[in-house]
């Protein structure tokens, strides 16, 4: 039982590191989109942050699905998987929008500070949602999914 817990922790740490790498690439796309929109004065910070997040979300799905969670419980049901991933994205966009709005309201309209605060808030919440719901390991492969 102790050995099994060590394997699960190692697997979780490994998954987290791969998730972090894939998310870093998606974040680059997200942030570049955000920055270009802000610099072009196309929309305000909250809108630009949300649009950037959505763009990064598309990149994230393909990277995470292929490189991190390839054996999820919905791998044979891609429509449901994409729906739940989209739901996790909606959670992330909501947290991003809210975090940027809160940062601007409480601290300042610092373009980088607002986005970095939103990244920290949404990253952790979305990681757990995706790990435990969207891409949880199939029961037959791992006993307990959660």
User: What is the torsional sign of CA 83, 85, 87, 90?
Assistant: negative
Confirm whether pTM is higher than 0.75: no
The per-residue pLDDT for range 15-60, each reduced to its tens digit, is: 788 888 998 999 899 989 999 999 999 998 888 988 998 899 899 9
Q: Which residues contact 74 (CB under 8 A, 6 or more apart)?
A: 80, 81, 84, 134, 135
Residue that the structure tokens 């050995």 belong to: 3
Residue spans of the domains in the chain: they are: 2-142
The per-residue pLDDT for range 51-81, each reduced to its tens digit, is: 998 899 899 989 988 888 777 788 788 899 8
Please give the pLDDT value at position 144. 46
Q: Check pLDDT > 90 for residue 142.
A: no
Please give the pLDDT value at position 146. 43
Residue that the structure tokens 């390991």 belong to: 137
């Amino acid at each position: 039982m102790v050995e099994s817990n060590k394997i699960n922790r190692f697997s979780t740490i490994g998954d987290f590191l791969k998730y972090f790498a894939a998310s870093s690439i998606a974040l680059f796309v997200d942030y570049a989109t955000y920055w270009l929109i802000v610099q072009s004065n196309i929309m305000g910070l909250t809108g630009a942050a949300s649009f950037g997040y959505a763009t990064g979300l598309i990149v994230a799905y393909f990277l995470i699905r292929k490189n991190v969670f390839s054996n999820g419980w919905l791998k044979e049901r891609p429509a449901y998987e994409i729906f739940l991933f989209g739901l996790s994205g909606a959670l992330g966009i909501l947290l991003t929008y809210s975090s940027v709005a809160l940062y601007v309201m409480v601290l300042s309209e610092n373009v980088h500070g607002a986005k970095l605060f939103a990244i920290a808030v949404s990253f952790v919440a979305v990681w757990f949602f995706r790990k435990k719901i969207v891409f949880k390991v199939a029961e037959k492969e791992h006993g307990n999914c959660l």
